[in-house]
């Protein structure tokens, strides 16, 4: 499989990370967002991240100077219809995603691969309105935050996905240093299904907002459990709003299975706009 050009739609934290990772593979990358200025700000952040990697000695300045011109910000109508791969990373709204995929189906070349970075919605359902030919080239590519560092990529087949394409993509990602695995098209796939208990039981352990209890749970999971981050630290990094949305989606998909039930503390944090690092305040303060 040869991938030379990628379009990333959605330029939040995850979209930026995905775009930067592809850029660092020396690919041409186009970034798209419904808010053009937000996409431009995302481009600037990626430039800053690349410069920081040079300062830390993890990238060569000559390479970064080659990367930067390869990253462009576009409106959706302006993207290159000949791009090889399109990765959707917009907010978790099923109908918004499906509407976007219908547009991309008409816009892109016949052999372009269209993928969703959804963390919970079924791939078969997201692609059911696409043309028959496109459904064969539609799948899930679920990256993990930060996408530039986290190696895992879940490759999810829909019922109509051509398995040879997902197999080739797995090989391609592995050759680029990622660890790609094939997943069933089931709610939460692998990681987000297993992780619901990592977050849910931790929330139930503290019950209400108590910073000392929160710190204790994170400390135990890091120092005893061997996790790089505790559950509350990780929710702050991902975004408590995103975490709640995924939890609600998995809960509904499993027909209100109690073990996946969202916790009221998550909702309280979101209602108070305490989303985590991106708002400078979540379970912890980042002022």
Distance CA 261, CA 113 (A): 34
Distance CA 135, CA 125 (A): 11
Q: How is the beta sheet containing 5-9 ordered, strand by strand? A: 71-74, 28-32, 5-9, 85-88, 113-116, 138-143, 152-157, 179-183
Two tokens, residue 286: 């980042």
Distance CA 122, CA 141 (A): 12
Query: Exactly one of 142, 166, 202, 249 is catalytic; which is it?
Result: 142
Task: Assess whether 285 carries a catalytic annotation.
Answer: no
Two tokens, residue 110: 């016949």
Cα dihedral 267, 271, 273, 278 sign: positive
Give me Rg for the CA atoms of the chain.
Answer: 19
Contact status, residue 83 vs residue 6, Cβ threshold 8 Å:
yes
Distance CA 143, CA 140 (A): 10
Query: Exactly one of 5, 119, 145, 157 is catalytic; which is it?
Result: 119
Contact status, residue 96 vs residue 52, Cβ threshold 8 Å:
no
Query: Exactly one of 154, 157, 243, 249 is catalytic; which is it?
Result: 154
Task: Assess whether 142 carries a catalytic annotation.
Answer: yes
Q: Between the CA of residue 42 and those of 8, 11, 73, what are the distances in Å? A: 12, 6, 9
Task: Assess whether 75 carries a catalytic annotation.
Answer: no
Query: Exactly one of 117, 192, 243, 249 is catalytic; which is it?
Result: 192
For the chain, the distance separating the N- and C-terminal CA atoms, rounded to the nearest angstrom, is 45
Task: Assess whether 119 carries a catalytic annotation.
Answer: yes
Distance CA 189, CA 141 (A): 11
Catalytic residues: 119, 142, 154, 192
């Amino acid at each position: 499989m040869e991938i030379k050009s990628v379009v990333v739609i959605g330029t939040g934290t995850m979209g930026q990370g995905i775009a930067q990772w592809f850029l660092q593979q020396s690919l041409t990358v186009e970034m798209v967002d419904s808010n053009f200025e937000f996409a431009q700000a995302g481009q600037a952040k990626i430039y800053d991240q690349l410069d920081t990697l040079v300062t830390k000695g993890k990238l060569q300045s000559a390479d970064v100077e080659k990367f930067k011109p390869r990253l462009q910000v576009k409106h959706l109508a302006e993207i290159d219809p000949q791009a090889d791969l399109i990765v959707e990373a917009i907010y978790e709204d099923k109908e918004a995603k499906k509407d976007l995929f219908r547009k991309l189906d008409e816009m892109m070349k016949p052999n372009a691969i269209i993928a969703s970075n959804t963390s919970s919605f079924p791939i078969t359902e997201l692609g059911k309105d696409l043309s028959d030919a496109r459904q064969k080239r539609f799948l899930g590519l679920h990256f993990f935050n930060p996408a530039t560092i986290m190696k895992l990529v879940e490759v999810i087949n829909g019922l109509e996905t051509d398995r040879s394409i997902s197999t080739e993509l797995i090989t391609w990602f592995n050759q680029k240093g990622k660890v790609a695995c094939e997943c069933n098209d089931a709610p939460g796939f692998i990681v987000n299904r297993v992780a619901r208990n990592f977050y849910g039981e931790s929330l139930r352990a503290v019950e209400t907002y108590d910073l000392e209890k929160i710190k204790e749970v994170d400390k135990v999971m890091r120092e005893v459990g061997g996790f790089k981050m505790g559950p509350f630290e990780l929710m702050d990094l991902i975004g408590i709003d995103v975490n709640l949305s995924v939890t609600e989606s998995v809960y509904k998909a499993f027909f209100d299975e109690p073990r996946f039930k969202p916790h009221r503390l998550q909702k309280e944090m979101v209602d108070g706009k305490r989303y985590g690092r991106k708002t400078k305040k979540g379970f912890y303060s980042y002022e």
